Structure 1
Amino acid sequence: SVLAPNGDAVSATSTVNAYFGAMLRSPSTGIILNNGMDDFSVENATNRFGVHWSPSNLVAPGKRPMSSMCPAIVLDADGKVKIVYGGAGGTRITSAAALILFRNLYLKESIKQAIDGLRLHHQLFPNEIYYEKGFPRVLLDSLRDIGHREKEEVEHSSFQGIVRLPDGTVAANMDHRKRGSVEGF
């Protein structure tokens, strides 16, 4: 995520998909090759993220696989950049993205609080709510009482974001769940 002094913004997400991608490295460039084909469905199979196959996501000429990537630039009512963010983490990206925006825009948490806060994840199938260690037990009990199954999260999404504050200053945060840092100039 980048926010320039003149207001230009870029949010880009790239991936090799799984850790070390296809486990192949180009002998000439040294670049690790991705395994993006894994994002397509395989008939009657569930992928490593627990997502069931879908006829609309089968391999076919000219198609791109469905993806959870959702880099975003949020504008204010005047069309000026308010938030720039993006993340990694497979199917957990979309739930984290929504939760971070909700916390920042509606709960008025700082970008650090919104990104660093504990997360829940539900992707419909399997019918389980994944939660991070430390999530308030009272909330998990309430969800269980209305029929949700819960499971402590092992894999996490990781986000980074930039916010333009009302006074024009900028705040940024890199998720503590992965190594990295924010830089400014």
Structure 2
Amino acid sequence: MRLLWMRRTVKEAVDWGRVHHQLLPNVLNVEKTVDTRLVRELRQRGHRVSELSHWPNDVMILARGRDDRIYVTHDYRRQTNTDLDGE
């Protein structure tokens, strides 16, 4: 969403704090890096929010830019290296 709708770079999209709702259980999981004002507002609207310090998975993005170049990045949260790290 951040890449396609909000016109962020692939790095900005991946680095942004994550939010996830699986419906059951009825809990909204947010990363500790998510803006505290947003978390407070979600709670005021009745959401049960759980702040997670460790996210159980990671993300990689590959996207074609408006200039037709391919942009790639990986999740900085990942504990191991990938080929995208240049190693």
Tell me the secondary structure at the aligned position of residue 138 of structure 1: helix
The correspondence for 1:114, drawn from 9, 13, 18, is: 13
Which letter does structure 2 place at the counterpart of 1:182? L
Structure 2 residue 2 is matched with structure 1 residue 103: yes
Deviations 1:121-162 (A, max 9, x none): 111111111111121111111111111111112333311111
Instruction: Say what the alpha-carbon RMSD is for the aligned residues.
Output: 1.8
Structure 1 residue runs of 4 or more that deviate by more than 4 Å after TM superposition: none
Quote the residue 2:66 is aligned against.
166
Structure 2 residue 7 is matched with structure 1 residue 145: no
**Residues 147, 157 of structure 1: CA spacing in aligned structure 2 closer, same or farther, 3 A cutoff?**
same
Matches within 5 A, 1:31-46: none
The correspondence for 1:132, drawn from 31, 49, 67, is: 31
Which letter does structure 1 place at the counterpart of 2:56? H
Deviations 1:11-54 (A, max 9, x none): xxxxxxxxxxxxxxxxxxxxxxxxxxxxxxxxxxxxxxxxxxxx
Distance (whole Å) between structure 2 residues aligned to residue 181 and residue 175 of structure 1: 12
Is contact 2:31-2:55 (8 Å) kept?
Answer: no
Scaled by the length of structure 2, the TM-score of the pair is 0.83
Quote the residue 1:73 is aligned against.
none
Distance (whole Å) between structure 2 residues aligned to residue 158 and residue 146 of structure 1: 29
**Residues 128, 164 of structure 1: CA spacing in aligned structure 2 closer, same or farther, 3 A cutoff?**
same
The share of aligned pairs that are identical, in percent, is 31
Larger radius of gyration: 1
Q: How many Å apart are 1:183 and its aligned residue?
A: 7.2
Quote the residue 2:84 is aligned against.
182
